[in-house]
Chains A and B, each alone.
Chain A
Amino acid sequence: MTTAIALTIGFIILGPFIGGLLEGMDRVVCARMQGRQGPPVLQPFYDIYKLFNKQSILVNNIQDLLVCGFLVFVVFSGVLFFMGEDILLVFFALTLAEIFMVMSSASANSPYSSMGAQRELVQAMTYEPMLLLTAIGFYIAAESFRVDDIARTDIPAIVYLPGIFLGYVFILTIKFRKSPFDLSTSHHAHQEMVRGLTTELSGNILALVEVAEWYETVLLLGVIGLFFVNGTWWGLVLALVGILVSFFFETFVDNVFPRVHWDTMVKSTWMFTLIAGGINLFILVLIR
């Protein structure tokens, strides 16, 4: 219980710092892959600081409310996760957060923003099956939906869930807005519809979105860690390695693949979910 509370408080306070740092590292690694020097590692924090200091402009009065909903529920689902609660509820809360974000950019009623909202929705539809399947996989592997039970199993979940792990890493590309699937909004300048989802957000409201995404990054990487931990110290080391490897794998993918059309995304992700996740699930049920 004390570790859970410590983790949760750690998440609430340190979450954005870890997330921001990871993004900074991502930007440096990305630049190096392209043969550039790249920004300083702390650049994301400079950005946030600046955004908080800018004038606040909006296109209507409910945008900020909905963005705050996004932030609050991302943090909420992170808290649930690190408190060791039900992992399915964690994902449901995360979906709720996502819906707030979509509503916020749809409420702007501007062409780029609405387009971004629709695409974000397609993305949500695309990764949702795999997200639920991940929770189901954990349930079968650990006989419990509770994160603390899953984290305490003797054998790391990855042993039972290699296919589901791959599927999860696959959808992580969508969640992190990395290249083949960064349809709704992109971290890079080469976005064909301005900034998509966040076009109509600016200043401190945009900063809140960024912070929320850092929290989300930490939460999603925490789930990666959950595949590896088993209550021992080497499990933790393994989890850390797993997290870093998969995070920088996403950076690599980002640099290697061009953006795809939405139906390619849906098709490939759903197929991958069905094949990797579905077969894994089937085998799990058979040997259960």
Chain B
Amino acid sequence: MVIFLIVFPFFCALVLALKKKSGLVRRILQFTFCGIIVVADLYFIVTSLISGGKAQYFPETHMVDRLMLVGEWLLLILICYYSFRYKKYYCAVLSVIQTGLITWLELSGKAEIVGYHIWIDRFTLIMALIVGVIGCLICVYSIGYMKDYNSHHSEYKDRRSFFFSMLFAFLGAMFGLIFSNNLIWMYFFWEITSVCSFLLIGYNGSEEAVNNSFKALWMNLLGGLGFAVAIAYSVLELNIVCLQDLVQVGTQVEIAIIPVILLAFAGLTKSAQMPFSGWLLGAMVAPTPTSALLHSATMVKAGVYLLIRLAPALAGNLAGLMVTTIGGFTFLAASMLAISQSDGKKVLAYSTISNLGLIAACAGVGAYEAVWAGIFLIMFHAVSKSLLFLNTGAVENSLGSRNVEDMHGLIVKLPGLAFIMIIGIAGMFLAPFGMLISKWAALKAFIDTNSVLLVIFLIYGSATTLFYWTKWLSSLVAVHHYSDRLKNITKKSEWVALITLSVMTVTLCLTFPFVSSNLIEPFLQDMFHQEVTAVISNGNIFIMGMMLCAILVLPLAVRFLTFGKKHKIVMSYMGGANTGDDRSFTDSFGNEKKMYLTNWYMEEWFGEKKMLKPSLILSTAGLVVLMILAIGGAL
């Protein structure tokens, strides 16, 4: 079953790549593929849960290893080809070094250490759920979206079959990544995701897209290099090639901190933490499904997935300090930067970086409450953020803009999409919804581990997060009188994805206690080898439930509180000079003047010009110093 999940998406990718002609056949093919993946994924998850939720496979896989080596060389050739074509030689160099290293390890036979290549536990299942279900929803959505995208942007070449096949290849790589236990296998899939994202970002072929895709490539290859060195070190010095063993040893042997910190470094690059945040922002030039796939469900989640796997080995050492400091700092800095952005996708990108920072910080703390919070953050973030990305794309197709300013009064113009967007935003930060529960747990864990700095980062970061989300939210609900309802050109396939995701956002909030007690707590018990008590008490769950109900019954409460009084609708107050339509006023010369309301962006405080560079420098310095300290200390 595992094999099927990994291989089948690649097969789909191949089929779609060959099926150049767009049309009904391709659409049906795509729907079927997505359906098969989702069904297989769910079947696999349910059966594994019934059989105990844990499994290991394949102690010996000589043939597959060789095949992977070939695959790696193919990737190397691909990267070299693009690097030379666009004269970005550093990418080729990075790629050659790491592939060379891995090839040497493999061929010299040093890496042939006994251990299970595939490892499945409850965390893997959660990730499989996210990747399978959300990933497929994004693929479904992209069918309708890309049609509009290509008719909007006729200047770009229509390479949709390539695009779709890359999406499926990406899913396959993600499945591979989460199921692998052998570091070399993991590394192989890790590289595939890097290359796929590079190709997806460069989809447009415009100069900006190409530059940004190379930015993504070199940053991820740098992380890959860290990964390769970590493998080499752990194989040569510790004689370990499996992730689980490394984590086990990492808690006991001091020298293991070196591979751990290198892997953590790779995780940080993949999850776009502060000095490497550039690639994720640059990736916004790509079509929306790419952004949704890369930034919510998969690519960046691979980074934090690795970090959370490493969590026990990060507890209370310098490697952990590095991860928490960078993560916490990123959480604060990115949320501040998000304030100054008006482009909807950029806000989402910064908010993603910021949330990933929080997850990384949770992993770095290494206490089980923190990891609990981190896993929940991953789940809630994946659902709400992909919903928001997809919705922004749908709004952009109907509205012609993805600027938050243009979404002013969306509730009148596109009520359906606006409502879904409100759910998504609420899911990202509002009280009874998921993110907040995790924030609560994270805060508790940070205090329990005496991380004062992290607490400070978290409280300020929460405040700035509150600001930029509420700003967006209040733009949406502004009732702009006399504005016409726009024609909603959202396709059926897009609606399917949007509605499913919003239902999932709400359902996840309602069912999180079950998820916690059935999936996450048993997993934590295995991971930390200690008794795990419920992180969040029943009382608090009850309160959350009550809040959710309170929101739902609010419209009824209104009738009661206003005593059923009839309201008279009047004009808004503009110093008595409202021209009568709430949209313009009479100025001092007696002329009609349009009123324009905008949000606050505080450019001179939180602008990219002001904040980005210092944050990058600070975080780079922190990263380098802590890595040197850790590695030097261990040697």
Contact = CB atoms under 8 A, between A and B. Distances in A.
B478 interface: yes
Interface string A120-146: 011011101100110010011000010
B467 A68 contact: no
A103 B477 contact: yes
B443 interface: yes
Contact of A113 (B473, B568, B572): B572
Given A72-B550, A263-B605, A270-B460, A57 B443 contact: no
Contacts of B464: 125
A7 interface: no
Counting chain A CB atoms within 10 Å of each CB, the highest count among B464, B544, B572, B599 belongs to: B572
B462 A132 contact: yes
Nearest to B339: A125
B550 A56 contact: no
Given A73-B550, A285-B450, A110 B558 contact: no
A118 interface: yes
Contact of B562 (A57, A68, A85, A274): A68
B431 A86 contact: no
B595 interface: yes
B409 interface: yes
Contact of B600 (A92, A122, A124): A122
Contacts of A218: none
A132 B460 CA distance: 9
A128 B463 CA distance: 5
A85 B447 contact: no
A129 B462 contact: yes
A88 B565 contact: no
A126 B462 CA distance: 11
Given A58-B567, A68-B561, A107-B474, A133 B573 contact: no
Interface string A90-131: 001101100100110011111111100110011011101100
A278 interface: yes
Interface in A22-43: none
Interface in B96-110: none
Interface stretch (A197-205, A219-227, A244-252, A253-261): A197-205
Nearest to A117: B474
A89 B440 contact: yes
A17 interface: no
Residue with the greatest number of chain B CB neighbours at <10 A, chosen from A69, A73, A125: A125
Contacts of B88: none
B570 interface: yes
B389 to A, nearest CB: 22
A118 B547 contact: no
B474 A103 contact: yes
A125 B466 contact: yes
Contacts of A57: 567-570
B567 A99 contact: no
Range for the number of chain A residues in contact with chain B: 35 or more
A270 B436 CA distance: 22
Interface stretch (A59-67, A174-182, A234-242): A59-67
B574 A110 contact: yes
A55 B447 CA distance: 51
A129 B597 contact: no
B554 A86 contact: no
A99 B430 contact: yes
A89 B540 contact: yes
Contacts of A205: 562
B480 interface: yes
Nearest to B446: A136
A80 interface: yes
Contacts of A136: 443, 447, 455, 459
Given A85-B543, A88-B440, A99-B430, A68 B477 contact: no
Contacts of A76: 546-547, 550
B554 A68 contact: yes
Contacts of A117: 474
B303 to A, nearest CB: 27
Most buried by A among B466, B544, B567: B567
Contacts of B544: 89
A194 B462 CA distance: 31
Given A72-B550, A109-B597, A65 B558 contact: yes
A92 B443 contact: no
Contacts of B599: 118
A288 interface: yes
B624 interface: no
Given A121-B471, A139-B447, A96 B462 contact: no
A55 B464 CA distance: 39
B543 A107 contact: no
Given A56-B568, A59-B572, A92-B436, 15 more contacts: A59-B570, A60-B479, A80-B543, A85-B539, A88-B443, A93-B431, A99-B466, A99-B473, A110-B572, A113-B573, A124-B466, A124-B470, A139-B447, A140-B447, A278-B452
20 contacts: A56-B566, A56-B567, A72-B554, A85-B539, A88-B440, A99-B466, A102-B470, A109-B481, A109-B572, A111-B597, A117-B474, A124-B463, A125-B463, A125-B467, A129-B459, A133-B459, A136-B443, A199-B573, A200-B572, A204-B565
The 4 closest A-B pairs by CB, nearest first: A110-B572, A106-B474, A128-B463, A60-B479
